[in-house]
Amino acid sequence: MAQTFDFIIVGAGSAGCVLADKLTASGRYKVLLIEAGGTDRRFWVKIPVGYGFTFSDPAVNWRYSAAADPGLNGREAYWPRGKVLGGSSSINAMAYVRGLPHDFDDWEAAGAAGWGWDTVRQTYEAMESHDEWHEQSRRLRGNGPVRVTDLSERMHPFARNFLAGAKEMGWPFLQDMNAPADAGANTLPGEGVGYVRSTVKDGRRWSSADAFLRPAMTRGNLTVVRGALVEKVLTSGGRAVGVAYKIKGWQELALAAREVILSAGAVNSPQLLQLSGIGPAALLQRHGIPVVHDLPEVGQGLQDHLAVSHFFWANTATLNDKLGHRAGQMKAGLQYVLTRKGPLSVPVNQCSGFVRTKGAALPDVQVYCNPASYSTQANGKPQIDKDNGFLLCVQPSRPTSRGRICIQSADPGQAPLIEPNSLSTEEDRATAVRASHLLQALAGTPAIRAVTRERRAPDIIGMDNAALLENFRARAGTVFHPTCTCRMGNNAKDSVLDARLRVHGVAGLRVIDASAFPNVTSGNTNAPTMMLAHRAADLVLEDNENRPLAAE
């Protein structure tokens, strides 16, 4: 016999963990949280530098691949996505980047009423606590569950060269890239370069599962089911009433007295809607799925960030000096085990920021600078170079190209088709060239030239516009920020959800994760995904305040 809950949440990732916490906090509602993956209590999940080892681990990762992408010379990209408690917040690079104010004002302009910057900023402030390095000591600012840590005093000394190069480029230094611009400064909020703030607490990854799910799991009104694949949302009379899922080979049903909430991510949420008969009618019919609701935009509108990286050999010590050799790795490992400090306690992404390309009115590129050089082996594991090196990287922040995600069959176990449709607009191609010019200029600053022993092939310095675009097509890759596949908007003609994250035309069903973004934010997407879920939970509670409970 199927058990009935007030709310069923599909996916214990960055958003689902937030929802589980906030919907159970009052003790009033019975909540079921279903996760396809297993425990996040794994060494390489918790150690900050360990995401290189979870990058291709099937125990915690869906390990998707995108289709051949014409805009990237027909290359097929690897798309890791978290399949574990905490979702992608358990396998990401831990960079905590809110996004820029105009990102969210654009959300509101796209039909997501109430999601402008002023509201979003208040949500961020409510959920964050900042562990900051200040005048030779540490202090904690704020009391939210998301721990955002300033690791600048632990960054590799080589990173100072990046900041010196940024200064020579005329880019402001940001103590905190999430802070508002200084009054009277000739910059916009978030414009400039600084040390990356990270979701790390006491030398360990601090995922959405740590911040939100662990407290919720102490409550008797939350049930968590792991290792379960949700195969279908059950509907009746135009309303979502439950889900069907498979666990250990057995088919199970769970009913929702109030709502079913999909938080399975930008790949799996549209896939699950389509498998449930909610999506483009022609696609569903082609795979023999009865059409519950013809909603053409499900799976459409996919946006992601592309970045191009160039590596350089250094004439002074970088992280490779410590981690490129067995003895150094063992020493760093012992230091971490004994003190939770040292190179293993800090993510490799150490400096970043938003800057403007020539003629841009707003910051339109994110820059990354890492004090290490490395490669990815055929098995997906990282291989750090033995020789000292470093990386410079640029990422166009607000692409206009849109792709799609579509099921390839009615089998829930088959991965969906991912079509990024990269660089399909002239605007994106032009931004890729301008961003590449910035990388050329940064590599050519006196500060960077002074620590460069050799520019590794391909050498970006002498490339003209045509060569820069071809270089971008040939070498740029995803930085794993898929969004917008169930986006908020005005109506069913331009979107999947309304501004309260409700699926157009299907009662009792919401999608609350990165797929709900109307457009991709300028930077890393984990922080805005948690923010979206934090505010969306309040909307869910408001809409259900006067409805009867599951047990009534």
| Residues involved in catalysis | 481
CA distance 439 to 152: 23
DSSP state of 196: P
CA distance 107 to 519: 7
**Contact assessment for residue 412 and residue 359, using Cβ atoms and an 8 Å cutoff:** no
Among candidates 372, 412, 422, which has minimal Cα distance to 392? Answer: 372
CB neighbours of 40 closer than 8 A, spacing ≥ 6? 46, 60, 84, 85, 86, 90, 207, 209
Burial class of residue 16, CB neighbours in 10 A (0-12, 13-18, 19+): buried
Single-letter code of the amino acid located at 475: R
Burial 389-413 (b: 16+ CB within 10 A, else e): bbbbbbbbbbbebbbbbbbeeeebe
Which strand ranges, in their side-by-side order, compose the sheet holding 137-141? 137-141, 128-134, 146-150, 197-198
Kind and range of the H or E run holding 430:
helix 426-443
The three-state secondary structure class of 24 is helix
Alpha helices per DSSP H over 14-139: 14-24, 43-46, 51-54, 101-109, 117-127
CA distance 146 to 139: 15
Backbone angles phi, psi at 126, to 5 degrees: -75, -30
The three-state secondary structure class of 472 is helix
CA distance 249 to 252: 10
CB neighbours of 439 closer than 8 A, spacing ≥ 6? 308, 310, 367, 392, 393, 394, 460
* Tokens standing for residue 494: 């331009």
CA distance 439 to 396: 12
